Amino acid sequence: MSPERAGQGLPVSLRATVTFSNPRFATLFVHDGRAGLFVEQDADLKGVRLVAGDLIEIEGVTGAGLFAPVIRAREIRVLGSGPLPASLRVSGEELSRPDQDSNWVTVEADVREVTQAGSDILLECQAGPCNFTTLIQSGGAQEVVPWDLADRRVRIEGVAATIFNTGRQMTRRLVRVNDVSDVVPLDTNSEGSGPPRMVTIDRLFRVDGPGPGELVRLSGIVHLALPGRGFYLRTEVGSIWVQTAQPIAAVPGSLIEVEGWPRAGKMKPFIRARRATIVGGGVASDPLALAARDALNSRYDSELLAVEADLLDVIRTPEGLTLELRDTNLVFRASLTGSFPHLPDDLRPGSRIRVTGIAEISSSAQVQQPLREDSRLLLRSRSLDDLEVLSRPPWWNLQRAAWAVGSGLVLLLLIYGLAQIRRRREQETQRREFEAVLAERGRFAREIHDSLAQGLTSISLQLECLRDDIAVDPVRALSHVETARALVRESLGEARRTVWNLRPLALGEADLATALQRQAAVLTRDGRVICSQEIEGVPRPLPAEHESALLRIGQEALTNAVRHAGASRIIVRLRFGAGWVTLTVRDDGRGFDVVERVGKGYGLTGMHERVAALGGSLSIDSKPGDGTEVSATLPT
């Protein structure tokens, strides 16, 4: 069944035998006599205790699973118990195939390592091209851990489980085993059969000495034990690393007897232990005092050394401490495993210290080259007692010198920064003053254009009318003279008001609508142009700058309509909204090309500037022969 079809949740009723169960992690594999399957359990079923061999009946639905289709159990009934089904015998190549997931299998493999994870036993195995881990459920007792399975060939019977990624791809194979007895040693193929031979470590891997296939025995004093990994052992002719995951309560000075197989290491051989036994106590060895450069020799690998060096740095890591050290021109490291909340006060960078530890030498040489001078040295110290401070760092050291230089640079940068800030402020002040001067010049230009220039235009119109009427209608001509005189007085007042930056005289005590009406009456007094005014909404007082701007815009639009457009009718409309006011001046004059006039007329430019200064908008709609409409909207 494909994962897509299984994901539809099809109902399932299945009778099968349990091949592996771990209620703590809700892990359940079953076999129906033909194939194996993984069973997902609802929350209320996760506490059901099942054991291998139980015959059960499952009610549930199909599921896509995270790797292969599964059954999602809603109900599990135990019908009884019986023998496990016959396992499928597979090779390493077959075991590495993803389609073996959940099958009950038997495979022969070589055990490379025996470790523990909590209460479970882990066997790192290899069968042909397949590297896999065998997981054995146990109670965690040390006496049942099969340490002697390391480097032996075995037959394993269990469930082929799978580790996979989010793309439903297999990344690792596991074999889950119910009991230690399901892993059977194959003595005919076991390595190192017969009693172990007592040897000295200097004979390992020589032409006439023991090799990787011979079981050997040796004893010595422990330098340092690394639980779960092994320990360093001092023998009569030197030291050696013993690799074992067997938990041994060994401390420096413990006398241990080891059985195992020699293995070739990077610097010298080591022992992969089959069994390690504490046989007594002894005296911890004294370290060998060497210079760091002299310690870079394969013969000192795994030896307990004491090296004097300068402390460069102390680095805390999740495993413990790492010390950066230097002896003359060689930089190396020392490490301590454990928790160290408090360190000696004098253990500071710059101190001269003596470090005692187990030497681990690694080479960066290529295969065809011998040990090179740039090989690395690591000393594994056993405790803080292995760090002896010989002299404290001098007060005036590189760090303090660097701090002083850095502080001086920071001070200089601060002074420079303050000077730059002051300079930018002065430049900003000058810029604002210059912009204020330009703005004021623009304001005065607009005021002069909208007051004096408009007044002079009106006076000019009255004088032209006077010229036309003085001969035919002296009374009417006298009226034009009086109007011109009034306009002269008003223009003079406007000039004074402009100088003193006061509210436009045209408004006076009147509101905006009245002031616009008066201006229209002056411009259309000769009767050639009819001007009407419309007001929409509820009129209300406006801010002085808003009234002034709208009045000037209205004056400019009326003057243009009378003098330049040849209009016969003008409509002035004021609309008051909730948060805005709009002035519209519409005439039926000759109109003009707006695009062509952009930027050429000071009157139009002044209109735009006034509206933009108050955050409003201005639109001019006109075309030749179709009149002009000027509309200005300001927020209030």
DSSP H helices, 524-625, are 544-563, 594-597, 602-613
Tell me the pLDDT tens digit for each residue of 18-53: 999 988 778 899 999 999 999 998 766 766 789 999
CA distance 12 to 29: 16
Who has greater pLDDT, 8 or 195? 8
The pLDDT, as a whole number, for residue 188 is 55
Query: Considering its fold, how many domains does the chain have in total?
Result: 6
Q: Does one domain contain both 518 and 635? A: yes
DSSP H helices, 251-384, are 292-295
The pLDDT, as a whole number, for residue 505 is 43
* Domain edge (last residue) among 159, 189, 219: 189
Q: Does one domain contain both 563 and 605? A: yes
CB atoms within 10 A of CB 550: 25
In this structure, is residue 330 part of a structural domain?
yes
Residues 572-604 as b/e (b if ≥16 CB within 10 A, e otherwise) read bbbebeeeebbbbbbbbbebbeeeeeeeeeebb
Q: What is the 3-state secondary structure (H, E, C) of 259-271?
A: EEEEECCCCCCEE
Q: Does one domain contain both 385 and 406? A: no
Distances (CA, A) of 483 to 457, 465, 475, 487, 529: 13, 11, 13, 6, 17
Tell me the pLDDT tens digit for each residue of 48-98: 789 999 999 999 999 999 999 999 999 999 999 999 999 999 999 999 999
Please report which confidence band the pLDDT of residue 353 belongs to, taking 50, 70 and 90 as the band edges.
Answer: very high
The pLDDT, as a whole number, for residue 68 is 93
In this structure, is residue 549 part of a structural domain?
yes
Listed in sequence order, the residues at least 6 apart from 77 whose beta carbon sits closer than 8 Å to its beta carbon are 56, 57
- Residue 142 pLDDT exceeds 70: no
Single-letter code of the amino acid located at 63:
G
Tell me the pLDDT tens digit for each residue of 47-57: 678 999 999 99
Listed in sequence order, the residues at least 6 apart from 269 whose beta carbon sits closer than 8 Å to its beta carbon are 201, 204, 205, 240, 262, 263
In this structure, is residue 212 part of a structural domain?
yes
The answer to whether 276 and 258 have CB atoms below 8 angstroms apart is yes
Judged by DSSP in three states, 69 sits in coil
The pLDDT, as a whole number, for residue 301 is 92
CA distance 134 to 95: 12
The answer to whether 186 and 108 have CB atoms below 8 angstroms apart is yes
The pair of structure tokens assigned to 136 is 């054995």
The pLDDT, as a whole number, for residue 446 is 67
CA distance 388 to 212: 40
Query: Could you tell me the end-to-end alpha-carbon distance of the chain, in angstroms, rounded to an integer?
Result: 73
CA distance 55 to 77: 9
Q: Does one domain contain both 316 and 373? A: yes
Mean pLDDT of 355-371: 70
In this structure, is residue 507 part of a structural domain?
no
Q: At CA 330, angle to CA 326 and CA 333, rounded to 5?
A: 55
The pLDDT, as a whole number, for residue 46 is 64
Mean pLDDT for the chain overall? 85
Q: Does one domain contain both 10 and 110? A: no
CA distance 11 to 73: 10
Q: Does one domain contain both 114 and 150? A: yes
The answer to whether 476 and 484 have CB atoms below 8 angstroms apart is no
- Residue 625 pLDDT exceeds 70: yes
In this structure, is residue 418 part of a structural domain?
yes
* Domain edge (last residue) among 81, 97, 130: 81
Output the domain CATH number for residue 245: 2.40.50.140
The pair of structure tokens assigned to 235 is 């023998």
Q: Does one domain contain both 636 and 517? A: yes
Single-letter code of the amino acid located at 302:
S
Mean pLDDT of 279-286: 83
Q: For 460-547, where are the E strands, in sequence order? A: 530-536
The pLDDT, as a whole number, for residue 447 is 67
- Residue 373 pLDDT exceeds 50: no
In this structure, is residue 136 part of a structural domain?
yes
The pLDDT, as a whole number, for residue 379 is 95
DSSP of 388-430, one letter per residue? Answer: EEEEPPPSS-HHHHHHHHHHHHHHHHHHHHHHHHHHHHHHHHH
Tell me the pLDDT tens digit for each residue of 436-481: 777 767 766 766 666 667 777 778 877 888 787 787 888 787 888 8
Tell me the pLDDT tens digit for each residue of 493-546: 667 656 544 444 445 556 888 888 888 888 887 778 899 999 999 888 888 889
pTM: 0.47
Q: Does one domain contain both 292 and 386? A: yes
Which of 18, 61, 49, 24 is CA-nearest to residue 36? 18
- Residue 99 pLDDT exceeds 60: yes
Q: Does one domain contain both 52 and 103? A: no
Q: Does one domain contain both 337 and 297? A: yes
- Residue 368 pLDDT exceeds 70: no
134: enclosing H helix or E strand: strand 130-137
DSSP of 553-570, one letter per residue? Answer: HHHHHHHHHHHTS--SEE
- Residue 64's domain comprises 3-81
Mean pLDDT of 548-561: 88
Q: Which residue has the tokens 């929350």?
A: 43
- Residue 138 pLDDT exceeds 80: no
Q: Which residue has the tokens 């390690």?
A: 276
The pLDDT, as a whole number, for residue 498 is 61
